[in-house]
Structure 1
Amino acid sequence: MSYNAKQHSYEEIREAIVDIVVRPNDPPRQWASLISELADEFARREGGAPAGARVSHGANSLHPFDTELARDAFWDLFRQGMITLGLNDYNPAWPWFRVSHLGRQELAAQSPLRFYDSGTFIALVKKQVPDISDEALIYLREAAGAFYASLLLSACVMVGVAAEAEFTRLVEVAATHPDHGSRFNSAQKAEFIGSKVEKFRRAIDTIKSDLPKSVVENLEVVWTIQTVIRTARNDAGHPVATTVTRQQVYVYLQLFVDMARQMMLLRQELTSLAPST
């Protein structure tokens, strides 16, 4: 039985193409084969077949709009130097292609924070941040659902609330530390999230020497992403002429995962810091 094709976003299609062309065993070498395998990949993901299961090659087809988006994504990868036209001296031109040496390094090393629907996004969050709070998950489900419904402003607001929930949790853990807790009192009492972040940042700077280098080096990532997501939330939540693209919101969702993981690592370190005797 063939897959009932539905329309996908550019991000979904590009990520699926990347997954297909960088696989180690027998990747497609021609455009027509790539399109056929892209349809098969979506059939696996959405048709109930288990991961890695074989599907009837050629029995599935893409939505017509998806075929054109796939063409866009392919040529974007070519312009970025990730794909080279031609396979070898015997097949030197289009429609043959291969992943370039640069592409093999860059695409394989890309962030693993890829997802293609609400379910895979939440699974990704739970994998990267095993102790994610229930409160944050509530808002993240709303954010992912809004993203795939093209309610982009709503998605910005929800991912911003989830980020605030996780950061507030980090502050509360820090404030309970038997030695350093008092340093975080002002951050805990701050009314607005921007002030809370800044006060926490100043407090954490005073105990950097007690933290592992790997955690300290990544603190700037947390503050930067917090600012980006908070700004996106504020812009989306006010009655002004705010425009946001799908690509931007997709990145915000990915950034949240990275930020939440870094906050989890910091939270674990604050919990494990031994009190002085």
Structure 2
Amino acid sequence: MQEITELKIPYEELKHLTIEVIRNSGNSFQFKSIANAVGHFAVNQGIVANPNQPGFQALSFPLQQVDENRLRQILWDLIIERVLTIGDYHNDSWPWLSVTDYGRTALLSTDPIPNDPSGYLERVKRDIPDLDEIIETYLSESIRTYNINQLLSATITLGCASERALIVLIECFADTYVDDAKQSGFKKKITGKFIKSQFDVFDSHIKPLLTHFPYELRENYANTLHGVFQMIRNNRNDAGHPTGIKMDKEALFANLQVFIPYCKYIYGLMDYLRTNHHN
């Protein structure tokens, strides 16, 4: 039983591997079994070489001590995030761990989850290769603060990411007018205005054009763009004012999940506008 070589991968990537392993490990497990499963998964993914002779059916793939230490940190992060808890039905202490009710919901999700920052951002960049850097900055901050249960901060920064996405869209719409006079008039209406006012102007100008748009862009406008923008904006306003309101972790989890199709829709709409200028 030979140890695999050190996993020279970033912490967030190791966390991604760990979450994938936990997804297939049942509701409770021991630390050593997870460590071994992570090692096995790393070998299967080609991250490290199999330390055993060809043809040898190894049952265990122990991690190096440095990687076991990193794995402990990751599991502790998942405990803080309420995905895991120490103990299970029969054992109330370490090294036993079990998945919480919230963790079960998160791990069963087929969509990217914020508890897996590497996997989440990888999916965003795969779906939107030219993602605006400012959107990425605020979205990354939202994920980080969500995972340490700073839910007000996570809500506000997600709202900033959403607002930036709308600004990029509105600027694209302004730049794709055929008529210079109409373009000038549109820009005059939005210059110096708050995002809600800009969006209302944009909404009134684009709605008459939707009948000429492809089916998917036309049908998803109200729910995917309008609906998600308003939802994230309302939550951001609630979090950004000293009302004492408490943000719900499960609701914010859902908002972070829906942000990906929302942002993807915005970029799809921009792609269409760039090749189909309007009046």
TM-score, length-normalised on structure 1? 0.65
Match of 1:127 in 2: 126
Residue type at the aligned position of 2:241: H
Who is 2:55 aligned against? none
Residue 218 (structure 1) aligned to one of 206, 217, 220: 220
How big is the shift at 1:127?
A: 1.5
2:34 counterpart residue number: 39
In 2, Cα distance between the equivalents of 1:228 and 1:74? Answer: 22
Deviation at residue 117 of structure 1 after TM alignment? 2.9
Give the structure 1 partner of residue 54 of structure 2.
none
Checking the alignment, whether the CA contact within 8 Å between 1:175 and 1:188 is kept in structure 2 is no
Deviates more, 1:224-233 or 1:62-71: 62-71
Higher mean C-alpha displacement, 176-185 vs 60-69: 60-69
RMSD: 4.0
Pairing 1:171-210 to 2, within 5 Å after superposition? 171-179=170-178, 182=183, 184-185=186-187, 188-189=190-191, 191-210=193-212
What 5-or-longer segments of structure 2 have no aligned partner? 5-15, 51-58, 77-83, 89-96
Contact 1:143 1:158 in 2 (8 A): yes
1:170-200 CA deviation, whole Å, 9 max, x = no partner? 0001001132763743663361222222221
Q: Secondary structure at the match of 1:158?
A: helix
**DSSP-derived class of the 1:206 partner:** helix
Is 1:170 the counterpart of 2:169? The answer is yes
CA shift in 2, pair 1:259/1:41, >3 Å: farther
For residues 228-268 of structure 1, the C-alpha deviation after alignment (integer angstroms, 9 at most, x for no partner) is 11111111111111111222222121121111000000011
CA positional deviation for 1:18: 9.0
Does 2:76 match 1:65? no
Q: How far, CA to CA, are the matches of 1:145 and 1:36 in structure 2?
A: 25
User: After alignment, is 150-159 or 68-77 more displaced?
Assistant: 68-77
Could you tell me how far apart the structure 1 residues matched to 2:103 and 2:138 are?
36
| 8 Å contact from structure 2 (residues 162, 229) kept in 1 | yes
CA distance in 2: counterparts of 1:31 and 1:128, whole angstroms: 31
Query: CA offset at residue 124 of structure 1?
Result: 2.1
Contact kept in structure 1, 2:87 and 2:98, CA below 8 Å:
yes
- State whether residues 16 and 38 of structure 1, in contact with CA within 8 Å, keep that contact through their aligned partners in structure 2: no
TM-superposed deviation, 1:48: 9.5
Following the alignment from structure 2 to structure 1, what is the Cα–Cα distance between the partners of residues 145 and 262? Answer: 21
Stretch of structure 1 that moved more, 241-250 or 115-124: 115-124
TM-score, length-scaled by structure 2: 0.65
Q: Distance in 2 between matches of 1:74 and 1:163?
A: 25
Q: Does 1:264 align with 2:257?
A: no
Please state how far the C-alpha of 1:216 moved relative to its aligned partner: 0.8
Distance, in Å, in 2 between the alignment partners of 1:42 and 1:163 is: 38
What code does the residue aligned with 1:191 have? K
Secondary structure class of the residue paired with 1:207: helix
The aligned residue for residue 111 of structure 2 is 112
SS of the residue aligned with 2:42?
A: coil
**Alignment match, 2:136:** 137
Sequence identity percentage: 21
